[in-house]
Chain A
Amino acid sequence: MSVEPFVIDIPESILDDLHARLTVTRLDPNDSATDWDAGTSPAYLRELLDYWQSDFDWRAQEANINRFAQFRARVDGSTLHFIHERGKGPAPLPLILTHGYPDSFLRFQKLIPLLIDPAAHGGNERDAFDVVVPSLPGYAFSDRPRDVGQLFHIGKLWYKLLHEELGYKKFVAHGGDWGTTVTVNLARSHPSSVIAMHLTDVPFWLTFQKTSNHTPAEEKFLAATQQFQMEEGAYAMIQGTRPQTLADGLNDSPAGLAAWLIEKFQRMSDCDGDIESRFTKDELLANVTLYWVTQTIGSSFLPYYDIGHAGAGTWIAEKMKDLIGSTKVPAAFARFPKEMTHPPREWAERFYDVQRWTDMPRGGHFAAMEEPELLAEDIRVFFRDYRRAH
């Protein structure tokens, strides 16, 4: 299969089954707490599930998503799903955007228009990008991996997609969450093709490396990271050690899937506790429904398993030397205040050629969804200097 156009059209039977399950959802009748301290608030979950059952219109969401030009291509024996939108400007720069967990390619739904057609959004047409937004292997409409250990090969898949299938010789890249790891991997393994990269976080697993001579700010960051892992990191531990055990229930219960996924949107966004100050129910449910209809919650856990079983520091340091460590690919970091952790610039400089560092005034882990304008502008400005290399 070469590149083929793709349109999302979920069979009616899957939606009927989803609706049937939602009508018989069984939540603990004795738990109606409104707080989110111990996880997703049962009161909010009930409200969201009511909306999902009665008001949410998947077909409208689907039509909305299908306005983007989507494709599927076979790369290295597995099928990748992606959006490919051409920029509207004199010389669009090719840009690949990589999402993470628990989002999906929908993470970039608001960002894409700002990047492909800046002139229509108060920007300059010279800042236009050709945008490619793949679904990670195991996510949405990309094939699920046939074995563990896929995480560190995704960079190569991206390269082949861009280079061989889409004919881009040189390009830039942006990512967040697992998208950061993949983007870094892509840049390390193909430094002559990746002109520069823009990231919203520093890969968390770099803290597993043995580093020394920390500045006070780094010490503070490393301590906060440990604290974060204690308080917030259980989802990553279970997804990394017993992904199948957790997936068995979540793939069988839409309520369970929603509860598990939306907790992160409440926890890691700049919402001050009020999830709907950042995300509409439609936005949240479009993402959850995407996991549901594609039955990919289990395979979406695989990056956690892969990083956990890579032998952390040892494996990464020894076997991935060509993929991490210093690099010539220039990097920019946009640091959003409600990100999970807040590495100082010098921490990033240990691993990357940091050319730009932006402390954003607002936004969290899902920056592309929460603050698309801020993010788009930072991406435009940073890559402006690298357009002539294209």
Chain B
Amino acid sequence: MQAQPFRIQVEQAVLDDLLSRLQRARWTSVIEQGDAAKEIDWTLGTGAAYLQELVNYWRSGYRWREQEARLNELPHFKVRIEEAHLHFVHVKARSDRSLPLLLLHGWPDSFCRYRKVIPKFSAAFDMVVPSLPGFAFTGEVKLASQEQPNRQTAKLLWRLMTEVLGYEQFVVAGGDGGSVIGQILAIDHPESVIGIHLTDLGWHATTIDPATASREEQKYLAAAKKQYMEDSAYAMVQMTRPRSLAAGLNDSPIGLASWIIDRFHSWCDGDIERKFDRDDLLTNVMLYWITQTIGSSMFTYYADMRSPSLTPSNYVAVPVGLALFPKDGAGIPPRSLAERTLNVQRCMEMPRGGHFAALEEPDLYAEEVIAFVEALREWAGDAALDRPPARSLPNSLQSQSDSETRHVR
């Protein structure tokens, strides 16, 4: 298994076709346009005014070739592992004191989730940022076995890190689907995973037996349930009928943008226009469009619904660092909930930010990951990192690098 350098090079015909679709976009409004329509912008779904302006920019201001060149400044690779043609960015650290860090994105983002933090990490880490199976340049992976797809993904990533790249041990950081896969990696390969850093507990955390929940946990579970009923229908569709939806999203760029942008709007801390650069949002949408992977990306929900990859009975024994952002999901979960499934060694309540923390609050996010890893390193000693830390770390780990604006949970 030899990784080959890879460059993003979208055929001009794909871009021409996209432009012609954008030019003939057929807009609709659920209710007749008028005063009421203005008032309920974003309450019935993606805000029409925002989306149309974004699409105008997509058509006439956005330059894919510039974005492509910018992305190609990163060292991309592809490698065949089993049935997968895994795409990843591999950035070697500037320091010889580096640690390998595997950065895992989720849905509906992409390896670009980490674009802004890569420069911040380059002093400390060798970074590996893959496109998960089903996503972007990795694309759909036909499963040879009946193995649960997320477990299969974790196995592929483990083989990437150890067999292909030769890292015996590494740290994993992730959010959303990346949190789940990071946890599976830690559970299946504690000998390789030194620690994991997460921005959420994974969706299985809310499936604990409610009878065992503390008052604080019950409050959080109720909030999570409310949020699920009000704003998670996208997931229900993707879990049960992804193909009925994928046909339209793969054929209509405005449909695809609307479906994805609605999530960025819902899950960010504040005004989407201030929190995200239009180029970043569109480049993320473009990655789904040009690779035609919206269907395969949604299929990860379908697969996990049929056969959940994690349950509350799974426990991550390697040290876990949490950076919990207030506008992610139903808000910040109680630490006790996290401790049911995770060996929590650092749990920070962040002052602001949402689901796409690495894109939305790159400084806060990067500082937290670095602080967690530094604490791990300090505890273990540079030379000792060839063995995983035991279940319990000293208390000193808790209080390191806490800025005044964030709180230890």
Contacts and interface: CB of A to CB of B under 8 A. Distances in A.
Interface of A: 17, 21, 24-31, 33, 38-42, 45, 143-148, 231-235, 237-238, 240-253, 255-260, 263, 295, 297-299, 301-302, 305
**Which 4 interchain pairs have the tightest Cβ spacing?**
A249-B255, A256-B248, A244-B45, A39-B243
B252 A252 contact: yes
B243 A26 contact: no
Contacts of A42: 243, 247
* Count class of interface residues, chain B: 35 or more
Contacts of A26: 17, 250-251, 292
B296 A245 contact: no
A145 B237 CA distance: 26
Given A234-B240, A253-B248, A299-B30, A248 B255 contact: yes
B241 A147 contact: no
Nearest to A232: B240
Among B139, B240, B247, B257, max chain A CB count under 10 A is at: B247
Given A252-B26, A259-B248, A147 B236 contact: no
Contact of B34 (A146, A235, A241): A146
Contacts of B256: 249
B233 A302 contact: no
B222 interface: no
Nearest to A234: B236
Contact of A24 (B17, B29, B30): B17
A242 B28 contact: no
Contacts of A252: 25-28, 248, 251-252, 254-255
B241 A248 contact: no
Contact of B30 (A30, A255, A260, A301): A301
A302 B246 CA distance: 22
Given A31-B243, A237-B236, A245-B262, A250 B31 contact: no
Contacts of B143: none
Contacts of A295: 26, 28
Given A146-B31, A298-B30, A234 B247 contact: no
B268 to A, nearest CB: 16
A240 B233 contact: yes
B398 interface: no
Given A232-B240, A243-B44, A260-B248, 10 more contacts: A27-B250, A39-B243, A144-B29, A147-B31, A248-B45, A248-B258, A249-B254, A249-B258, A259-B245, A263-B241
Interface in B256-270: 256-259, 262
Interface string B352-381: 000000000000000000000000000000
Contacts of B257: 248
B245 A248 contact: no
B161 to A, nearest CB: 27
Contacts of B236: 233-234, 237-238
Nearest to B253: A252
Nearest to B298: A38
B94 to A, nearest CB: 39
Given A248-B255, A298-B29, A17 B244 contact: no
Nearest to A252: B252
A45 B241 CA distance: 14
A64 to B, nearest CB: 26
A234 B255 CA distance: 18
A241 B254 CA distance: 19
Nearest to B48: A244
B244 A260 contact: yes
Given A17-B24, A247-B45, A252-B254, A145 B32 contact: yes
B243 A40 contact: yes
